[in-house]
Each structure stands twice: as structure tokens, then as C-alpha cells.
A = this chain, B = another copy of it.
Amino acid sequence: MSRFSLNQATIKYAGLEEAVRVTVDAGIESIGLWREPVAEFGLAASAALVRDAGLRVSSLCRGGFFTGPDLAASLDDNRRAIEETAALGAPTLVLVAGGLPDGSRDLVGARERVRDAIGALEGDARAAGISLAIEALHPMYVTDRAVVSTLGQALDIAEQFDARAVGVVVDTFHVFWDPQVLDQIARAGAGGRIASYQVCDWTMPIAADPLLSRGYPGDGHIDFESLTEAVVAAGYTGDIECEIFNQEIWDAPYPEVVRLSHAAFERVVAPHLGLQ
């Protein structure tokens, strides 16, 4: 069994059927799905499609965005996302916190709101048998996308709740810079909190749209050896998603992108996974 999973966002413009087909054709056993293409194909049909294809679903991306003007609507939407995650047979719903509310400079207040929202969803996640995975995003996204900026901060929130229901994502792109990252990965592992490990590289210069500033593992500046070894030592045994936002990669042929993602994983991540 290979632990490599293709996150669907890496071939963003493929519809669900095509994404599943190129994944299976490449001999890959696992896929990370996104809500929008699943909704487009239909939830039940999507669940049947991946099941019939023999794929594991490593996660569903994504819920969260708790800091907007209508918290009740956000919670409703997240409850639907939890149901979708369970229906797809995925263990994990990835949560992106949301940025500062319009016109606000109150990071502390926004962070409290994120914690409270996750508290409101904990029971739903437990009932559905899935994990909410809080994803720390790189601090350059703190105002517009995620007021949760470090793994330590994500754990400070997660640890207030049941470990079966609330964990964290370790995404190399977002956390590699953090001087505390190895300690925080160990902390996450000790608490059984690593719900997802995602890999892509940090390339320079930062793209004009900083959201798209990612590369194949090995093409940038991230030390996948120390991070992967820390995740392994922390006891994470799940699938490992390659999730790349990059315009040039999005514009390339899907089979080529899948092949290059998988090869990059085998070259710079897999050698550090120890005996499988």
C-alpha cells in the first residue's frame, strides 16, 4: 500500500470524474476531494464513483471560514460539510479558519470565534465519526484567509476538544518556517491530533498571487526529511496528500501533473517514511 494521495486541488480544473480517472490510471490508491466538484457531480454519485474506483478518500477540503458576518450560516454549512465527509467515507474534514472580519483588526477576537465555532461542531463531528482538522495557514494569509497561523496555535484550540473529533493538519508549505515546528509535530502526535499530513514545496520568489506560490516537493526550499521524520515519529500512519496551488501546474495536462506529483513524493517524502 502506498500512502500517497492526490489532493484534487492539484488538478483543480479537472471535474471529479476526470480527477478520479487520472488518479486510478496512475496507480494511485487515495484522493483528497474538494466540496465544489463533489457538489457538482452530486454527493451520492461522488461517493459511489470513488468507491467503485477502489480509491480511499483521504480528506474533504474544506470547511471553516468562521469569521464572516453570519456565523450561524457558517455553522450550518460546516454541518453539511461534516455529513459530506462521512458520506464520502473520508476520515477528515479540513478546516480553514477564515481571516479578519471586514474592517476589523481584532485577531484575538477572531481567534476566539474560531475556537467557539469548532466547539459548536465537535459533537457533530463525533456523531458522524469524522475528525475536524484545523489547518494552520502561513502567516502571510492571516488577514484574508486564516487567523490560525501556527501548528502550536491550532493545537491550543484542538486540545480543548475530544481528540477523536478535533485534530490538526500538518501542511509543509504552511509550517516549515516555524522554529517550533518539530516540537509541535511531536506534541500533536503525542495527543493523537495529526489528522492530515499534506506536502508541497515553498518556491521563490513568492507568486504575484501568493496563494499560488507552491511547487512540487523538491522544487523549493522545504526540508521534507526532518518534517516527514517528525510526522512518522509522531505516529501518523495515514495517507499523505500532495496539494499544490500553482497556475502553471493547473494549466498542465492532468496525467503529467499526477505523474510528477507522485514521482516527487517518491523521491523526497517516501524515503523518510521508514519501514512501511
Contact = CB atoms under 8 A, between A and B. Distances in A.
Contacts of A153: 179
Contact of A108 (B111, B202, B204, B226): B226
A13 interface: no
A87 B108 CA distance: 43
A204 B255 CA distance: 36
Contact of A210 (B105, B107, B206): B206
Interface stretch (A25-33, A51-59, A116-124, A140-148): A140-148
Given A153-B179, A179-B150, A106 B210 contact: no
Q: Which of A177, A204, A208 has the most CB of B within 10 A?
A: A177
Nearest to A139: B177
A226 to B, nearest CB: 7
29 contacts: A100-B221, A105-B221, A105-B222, A106-B223, A107-B176, A107-B177, A107-B223, A108-B226, A111-B179, A138-B140, A139-B139, A139-B140, A139-B177, A140-B140, A140-B206, A140-B210, A143-B177, A143-B204, A143-B221, A144-B204, A144-B205, A149-B178, A149-B179, A150-B178, A150-B179, A152-B179, A153-B179, A206-B210, A208-B208
Contacts of A226: 108
Interface of A: 100, 105-108, 111, 138-140, 142-144, 149-150, 152-153, 156, 176-179, 202, 204-206, 208, 210, 221-223, 226
Contacts of A152: 179
A111 B223 CA distance: 14
A204 B111 CA distance: 20
How many copies of this chain? 2
Nearest to A144: B204
A4 B111 CA distance: 32
A223 B101 CA distance: 13
Contacts of A150: 178-179
Nearest to A174: B139
A108 B153 CA distance: 21
A104 to B, nearest CB: 8
